């Protein structure tokens, strides 16, 4: 017998405002066609001016709790992945805790940019396996629209806002790869690549700043590192790519998603794709894709899923889990 962190609920929330590519044609030297063919993105959601990351996160968390048939009283911890928290402190996670009416347990944010949800899932799994929490809400939530430079066509057309959440619950398994739940994780970072993707501001430099990216350089690292980390996670679980039902990748760019699947030897039929509707929602993109994938009937109980993500840091990683 072995402990496993099993997904017992999933949900998401997207802000009401949908922005099609054509809207950028009015203010930038760009076209719907360029954005579609280079990134796969067709539209994205942007939060309203008075809507914050913790607002999106709380709504996604409520949806995940409803899906699990649980209430906030059943939850021991909240781990929230974000790089765009409402305030410098407290954490967005504790703000969600209050919003849910959760009066016990603990909550904290994880900051690993686009790899944030993979990092949060891995940490939440460790909390469950070490007995520090039985049920954990794991959330990815972002308002990247707040850190865009609206004059930079090479970045501002690529990102969107949103939130997704999972409820993880500790259950007994057999200790084999047939178990439901998280089977293995793989986390990596390499701070030497800071200049490829960063925000040129922050508390200690006394500004909010804007996202800066050398897109083609990030692209070069992405496919290689994502295929490798996914394969490492699968290997740690005693599995290979042949066992995978779904790759649920970070949704940054359709060409990165296709390149990674190709490198792993899997067809696009085995990939959950939402980038066309959401753009890159950073730490929110994987839980959003898991929620949409379940709602659409693609992901079913017992399916073997590998998630993979890379982002600023560079930070990257993967989680192999059975749904
Ligand atoms: C950003 C990205 C779509 C750009 O595509 P690309 O094929 O690499 O294009 P390049 O950056 O080489 O730029 C090619 C040209 O398109 C132009 N361009 C950039 N954005 C444009 C836009 N929105 N509309 C029209 N032209 C644009 C560039 O200015 C450049 O023009 P130039 O040749 O005259 O200098 C691509 O690099 C990418 O997706 N990278 C990964 C980024 C990512 O997903 N990061 C997040 C990881 S978490």
Q: Are residues 160 and 37 in the same domain?
A: yes
Q: Are residues 304 and 287 in the same domain?
A: yes
Q: Are residues 65 and 162 in the same domain?
A: yes
Q: Are residues 45 and 71 in the same domain?
A: yes
Report CA Rg, the chain. Answer: 18
Phi-psi bin for 69: left (phi > 0), alpha (psi -120 to 50), beta? Answer: left
Q: Which among 135, 153, 173 is the end of a domain?
A: 173
pLDDT in tens, 175-208: 999 999 999 999 999 999 999 999 999 999 989 9
Cα–Cα distance, 241 to 222 (Å, whole number): 18
Q: Is 12 a catalytic residue?
A: no
- In this structure, which residue's CA is closest to atom 42 in ligand 1? 215
Exposed, middle or buried by CB within 10 Å (0-12, 13-18, 19+), for 81? buried
**Ligand 1 center from residue 82 Cα (angstroms):** 24
**Ligand 1 center from residue 113 Cα (angstroms):** 20
Which H or E run contains 18?
A: strand 17-20
DSSP three-state, residue 134: coil
Whether 143 has a pLDDT exceeding 70, the answer reads yes
What b/e readout covers 123-140, taking b as 16+ CB neighbours within 10 angstroms?
Answer: bbbebbbeeebbbbbbbb
Q: Which among 173, 202, 224 is the end of a domain?
A: 173
Q: Is 114 a catalytic residue?
A: yes
pLDDT in tens, 69-114: 999 999 999 999 999 999 999 999 999 999 999 999 999 999 999 9
Give the residue, out of 215, 250, 316, with the most ligand 1 atoms within 8 A of its beta carbon, to mutate for a pocket test.
215
Q: Are residues 262 and 201 in the same domain?
A: yes
Beta strands in 121-199 (DSSP E): 135-143, 161-173, 181-189, 197-199
Q: Are residues 148 and 194 in the same domain?
A: no
Q: What is the CATH number of the domain that holds 281?
A: 3.40.47.10
Q: Which among 173, 190, 210 is the end of a domain?
A: 173
**Ligand 1 center from residue 35 Cα (angstroms):** 9
pLDDT in tens, 29-62: 999 999 999 999 999 999 999 999 999 999 999 9
Note whether 188 and 317 are within 8 A (CB).
yes
Q: Is 156 a catalytic residue?
A: no
Banded model confidence at residue 1, pLDDT cuts 50, 70, 90: low
Of 278, 285, 282, give the one whose Cα is nearest residue 46. 278
Give me the domain span that covers residue 119: 2-173
Of 307, 266, 268, give the one whose Cα is nearest residue 290. 307
Query: Which residues contact residue 273 at a Cβ distance below 8 angstroms, ignoring those fewer than 6 apart?
Result: 40, 251, 254, 257, 289
Task: Indicate the pTM of the whole model.
Answer: 0.97
Q: How many domains does the chain have?
A: 2
Q: Are residues 308 and 245 in the same domain?
A: yes
228-241: average pLDDT: 98
Note whether 166 and 149 are within 8 A (CB).
no
Q: Are residues 159 and 266 in the same domain?
A: no
Q: Are residues 58 and 190 in the same domain?
A: no
Q: Are residues 138 and 209 in the same domain?
A: no
């Amino acid at each position: 017998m072995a402990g496993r962190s099993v997904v017992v609920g999933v949900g998401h929330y997207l802000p009401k405002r949908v922005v099609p590519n054509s809207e950028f044609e009015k203010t930038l030297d760009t076209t719907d066609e360029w954005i579609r063919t280079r990134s796969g993105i067709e539209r994205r959601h942007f939060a309203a001016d008075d809507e914050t990351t913790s607002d999106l996160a709380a709504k996604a968390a409520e949806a995940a709790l409803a899906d699990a048939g649980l209430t906030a009283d059943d939850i021991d911890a909240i781990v929230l992945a974000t790089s765009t928290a409402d305030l410098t402190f407290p954490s967005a996670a504790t703000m969600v805790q209050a919003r849910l009416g959760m009066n016990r347990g603990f909550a904290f944010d994880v900051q690993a940019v686009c790899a944030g949800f993979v990092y949060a899932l891995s940490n939440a799994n460790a909390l469950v396996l070490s007995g520090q929490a039985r049920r954990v809400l794991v959330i990815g939530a972002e308002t990247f629209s707040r850190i865009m430079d609206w004059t930079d066509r090479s970045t501002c057309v690529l990102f969107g806002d949103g939130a997704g959440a999972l409820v993880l619950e500790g259950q007994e398994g057999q200790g084999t790869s047939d178990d439901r739940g998280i089977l293995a994780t793989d986390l990596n970072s390499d701070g030497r690549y800071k200049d490829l993707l960063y925000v040129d501001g922050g508390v200690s430099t006394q500004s909010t700043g804007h996202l800066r990216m050398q897109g083609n350089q990030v692209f070069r690292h992405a496919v290689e590192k994502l295929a490798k980390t996914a394969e490492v996670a699968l290997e740690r679980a005693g599995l290979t790519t042949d066992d995978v039902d779904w790759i649920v990748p970070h949704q940054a760019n359709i060409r990165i998603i296709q390149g990674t699947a190709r490198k792993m030897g899997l067809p696009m039929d085995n990939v959950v794709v939402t980038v066309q509707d959401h753009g890159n929602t950073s730490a929110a993109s994987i839980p959003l894709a898991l929620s949409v994938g379940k709602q659409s009937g693609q992901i079913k109980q017992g399916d073997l899923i590998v998630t993979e993500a890379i982002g600023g840091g560079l930070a990257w990683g993967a989680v192999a889990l059975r749904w």
